[in-house]
Amino acid sequence: MTAPRSPTDFLAAEVHELEAADLDWKLRVLAGPSVPACTIDGRSVLMLCSNNYLGLSNHPKLKEAAIAAVRTHGAGSGSVRPIAGTMDLHVELERRLARFKGAAASLVYQTGFAANAGLIPQLVGEGDLVVSDELNHGSIIDGVRLSRAERAVYRHAQPEDLARVLSEAERHVPSYRRILVVTDGVFSMDGDIAPLDRIAPIAAAHGAMLYVDDAHGEGVLGPGGRGIVAHFRLSRDLVHVEMGTFSKAFGVVGGHVSGSAELVRFAWNKSRTWLLSGSAPPAVAAACTAAIDVLEGEPQHVERLWTLTRRFQGALRDRGFDLGASATPIVPVIVGDSAKAKRMSQRLFELGVFALPIVYPMVARDRARIRTIMNAALSDEQLTQAIDAFTQAGRELGIV
């Protein structure tokens, strides 16, 4: 008789498989705040891959707001939003966010993932169609999976292909009840911007709803960092759901959607992630409101972010690096195959720069890259140091 196998043997087996392929996540530990000059795994390095675009995660106004809210409102909210977990701090944050966005109303979720996973499956269901950019974020993909709608994808950032998919959908029998077009605003692997100005009229011509996930566009694109809808000066009649996060440029954590008052009432009555999961702690809600204060009152952070982005991109392109389609502070430095990207990241770390490799299967086999994200808190000297490190590592590895 063979020894009985444990029902959890697969856990170690599957992890070993990932480790053997060097595809497992090795966690790097940050000692202290997420700032450009930081300590990771005990080493002093420049942080070049956080989503903290504007340096707000360590901004004194956000920290003070969080501390003050703990003193006045406690550590937790005590409930889910619809029962007893809606505090004045949540209502104030939603009011301020809607004003910042120029939308009729906003709703705050615990995370951006919870917003996509909670709202998308309510907007569409059986008999409906979701049309998605092929490179959309995993939280959109999971939100779509939770719906019982049919799915179609269009080629990445190609409005002509979206028009083709929507025209084909029109010939579908029986005709779809509702159609939802959904896209990232800024794509996180390449740093390119969705052509929302061309997508919106196509969706409208086919009577489809339009949903944009602006997680990487907020605090970055548009006047004062108001996001992709403001960037393209699009009418809110064309963009029905503007979804975003407080975990990136806003420097805290939390998700949100903005749009009409009807959208927000629908979302809070229907989204299971919102109805059934505890609301943001007071410190989080207050720090997010403080982030909006800073964006409205200190426009220099967004300006600085773009100044550094132009300098960094210009210097790397001058030295012969391939930055792909980057049009934002997400700057992928494309190096070739996965092994080379891992060596490059390791060498950069030795040279004092922290930026992780993005490899197959997240991107094509020959398009492995070091994905960098610019940060407004970098000094001129630190940026020069980063450019020098890339140049040296790139030359040593024969990339430039």
Ligand X SMILES: *Cc1c(COP(=O)(O)O)cnc(C)c1O
Q: Which of 59, 73, 81, 216 binds ligand X (CB under 6 A)?
A: 216
Q: Which tokens belong to 391?
A: 């140049």
Kindly list the catalytic residues: 188, 216, 248
Q: Which two tokens stand for residue 167?
A: 């025209």
The residue from 213, 287, 332, 386 that contacts ligand X (CB under 6 A) is 213
Distance CA 309, CA 303 (A): 10
- Residue closer to ligand X (CB basis): 289 or 382: 289
User: In the complex, which residue's CB is closest to ligand X?
Assistant: 112
Tell me if 218 contacts ligand X by CB under 6 A: no
**Least gap, CB of 247 to ligand X (angstroms):** 4
Interface residue with ligand X among 52, 147, 245, 382 (CB under 6 A) is 245
* Pick 111 or 328: Cβ nearer ligand X: 111
Name residues contacting ligand X, limited to 104-123 (CB under 6 A).
111-113, 116
Nearer to ligand X, 176 or 246 (CB): 246
x/- map, 173-212, ligand X, by CB under 6 A? -----------x---x------------------------
Q: Which of 48, 162, 212, 215 binds ligand X (CB under 6 A)?
A: 215
Question: Does 259 engage in binding with ligand X (CB under 6 A)?
Answer: no
Min. distance of Cβ 256 from ligand X in angstroms?
Answer: 9
Does residue 139 belong to the site contacting ligand X (CB under 6 A)?
Answer: yes
Pick 55 or 133: Cβ nearer ligand X: 133
Size of the site for ligand X (CB under 6 A): 14
Residues forming a β-bridge with 209: 180
The interface with ligand X within residues 274-313 (CB under 6 A) comprises none
Give the nearer residue to ligand X in terms of CB position, either 247 or 279: 247
| Per CB under 6 A, 242 contacts ligand X | no
Residues of this chain that interact with ligand X (CB under 6 A) are: 111-113, 116, 137, 139, 184, 188, 213, 215-216, 245, 247, 255
